[in-house]
Each structure stands twice: as structure tokens, then as C-alpha cells.
Amino acid sequence: MVALVRLKLFCIQMTVNKIIDTDPILRDALASGRGTKYKRLAEAMELMIQKGMIEPGAKLPTHRKLADRLGVTIGTVSRAYGELERMGLVVARVGDGTFARRRGLESTRDEGFRTFEMCIRDSHGNAPRRSC
């Protein structure tokens, strides 16, 4: 009886990873559109996360695996994942992987360095127009 209870608890704690074939969607995004490949890849993955095709907490493929499957360089995937992390859509843990964040924890999309440039004092030493 005790073994049966332990087995049930173990089964309840296990999570089932839902596998969706995202490769065709990502390949289409890479083949069409404008801009750099990593930005097209990041934008496609952003939409997939927002639409729930990539569920919160889901582990993304390794850089090497995704690069091999899509026929791009590891650098392209690394830059795309970096962009997603900057937007707050994923979290990367060294040695553990990259995971989609839970909804509500995303950062607002900004223009990257432009935000920083607005926070720098001008050549006359004037403070920025808005708080940083």
C-alpha cells in the first residue's frame, strides 16, 4: 500500500512535455521577411510564446540542436535567444538550458541602446528629460 501511494505521488509530480513541431514555422520566418536572421527568428519565437505555442516553463532546444535543425549558425540562435532574454520572454540558466518565462514576467519591449542613450546627460551636463 505504501509503495502504491509513493508511486501515485511520483506520477503526480512528473510533468509531461508537450512537443509541438515548431521547425516549419521558424523556417518560414527565416526564409521570409526583412532584417537579420536572428531578429526574424526571435520575432517568430516571440509570437509563438505569446500565442502559447511555446508554453511557460517549456525548455527551448539547445543552441546547437536548433541551429542544426534550422540550417543556421549557432551564433544566429544565440543572438535570437539573447534577444528573447532581453525582452524578458525567456530565462537562460548556464548548464541547465533556456526556458520560456511565465506570462506576466515579460519585460516591455524597448529599443535597446536607444533607451540608454536617452538617459545620458547631454554635452552641456543637462539631465535626461525622463527618469531612467
Amino acid letter, residue 61? P
How far apart are alpha carbons 131 and 33 in whole angstroms?
A: 35
Kindly state whether residue 98 falls inside one of the protein's structural domains: yes
Kindly state whether residue 40 falls inside one of the protein's structural domains: yes
Amino acid letter, residue 35? G
Which pLDDT does position 22 carry in this prediction?
A: 81
Kindly state whether residue 1 falls inside one of the protein's structural domains: no
CATH number at residue 33: 1.10.10.10
Kindly state whether residue 28 falls inside one of the protein's structural domains: yes
Range of the domain at 87: 20-103
* Average pLDDT taken over every residue of the chain: 76
Kindly state whether residue 46 falls inside one of the protein's structural domains: yes
pLDDT tens-place string over residues 84-130: 999 999 999 999 999 999 766 444 444 444 444 444 555 555 655 55
> What's the pTM value of the predicted model, to 2 decimals?
0.64
Total domain count, the chain: 1
Kindly state whether residue 9 falls inside one of the protein's structural domains: no
